Amino acid sequence: MRYYTIVTSTCFFGEWALLFVLGVFGWSGVDEVADGTFTWAGLAALLGWILVPIRRRLSRLGRRLATEILLSPSQLGDADYVLYLRPFDADRRNYRLPKAKYGITYVDPGTGQVESQITVERHDLTLEEELASIFKRFGRPIAVGRPGEKVPLPGADRMYLPRDGWKPVVSELIRGARLVIIVGATTESILWELIEARRLLPLPRLVILAHGDESSYELFRTAVRNEFGRHIARQGVDFPAAPELPDPPPPDHRDSQGFWNSFSSALWGAVRFEFDGTPHFFRFDDKRDLKWGSWPFIGDLTDELSQLRRRKPEE
């Protein structure tokens, strides 16, 4: 960890130093460019392009190594936590970093004309880390670790379970969570976890994420209806009904180069529920929707969860 910290810090400060040099030289004007300043600016840009991806990946690795691992639910005590449940095959896609982006424009101070422009997009968090940063206001983010992985992914803290006998532990985690976030998928484990969440929790404590594309969401809706239908047929009408999954609203076709465009094939929406089961689908079209436009979604969720704070499902 010591060497990782040294290398990461060096890359971080070097990256910003080069960008500063690049910015200063870029505003120097035509005379300085003729004197050779442009060569140094180009070199600074080249080194910046090299350092940015190295530093970002080292930083991501360091966050993986810093992820806390829990051995049992008892370690959570009475603290609020958010349980993040997803199909393990989504981890590889959600671990990718979006493109970094900086914007530096070179303007000739004499003519006011733009001589050149460099744009490098930069976001240092993975998709799971972005989700953890949004939902951590409701409690500590917790996820079940993928079996066999040597180092946990950054984002939610991890709890590793045996391949056999994991269901009772997940049921316990679902029951005690202040909020359960489930990535919609048609896998057997996700459908079982959704049924457990529906059986154990009031609906305001459940959020379902739309992952993949709209056809994947439609397949998930069909699988949910069928799976709940089978359980109701076996156990009777007293079994909880499937949560209503609404049609998604149409996409916002803004001309945007935001963060979420990089994940357009991964996460694009979320569903929350009122006490009476009324669903609300919120669509993420780009980063602005999550960072700013999602406040109504988060605000409504906060209001409903505040009424359930510290309650047990049977109360």
206-261 pLDDT per residue, tens: 999 998 888 999 999 999 999 999 999 888 878 899 999 999 988 765 444 444 44
In this prediction, residues 276-295 reach a mean pLDDT of 70
What is the model's pTM? Answer: 0.70
Q: Domain residues of the chain, as ranges?
A: 37-66, 69-248+263-311
pLDDT value, residue 46:
59
Reported as a single tens digit per residue, the pLDDT across 136-154 is 889 999 999 888 787 777 7
- Residue 59 binned pLDDT confidence (cut-offs 50, 70, 90): low
In percent, the amount of the chain with pLDDT more than 90 equals 29
- Considering the chain, what percentage of its residues have pLDDT values greater than 70? 58
pLDDT in tens, 37-47: 455 555 555 56
The answer to whether residue 27 scores a pLDDT higher than 80 is: no
At 104, is the pLDDT very low, low, confident or very high (cuts 50, 70, 90)?
A: very low
More confident residue, 212 or 80: 80
| Mean pLDDT score across all residues of the chain | 73
Cα maximum dimension of the chain: 84
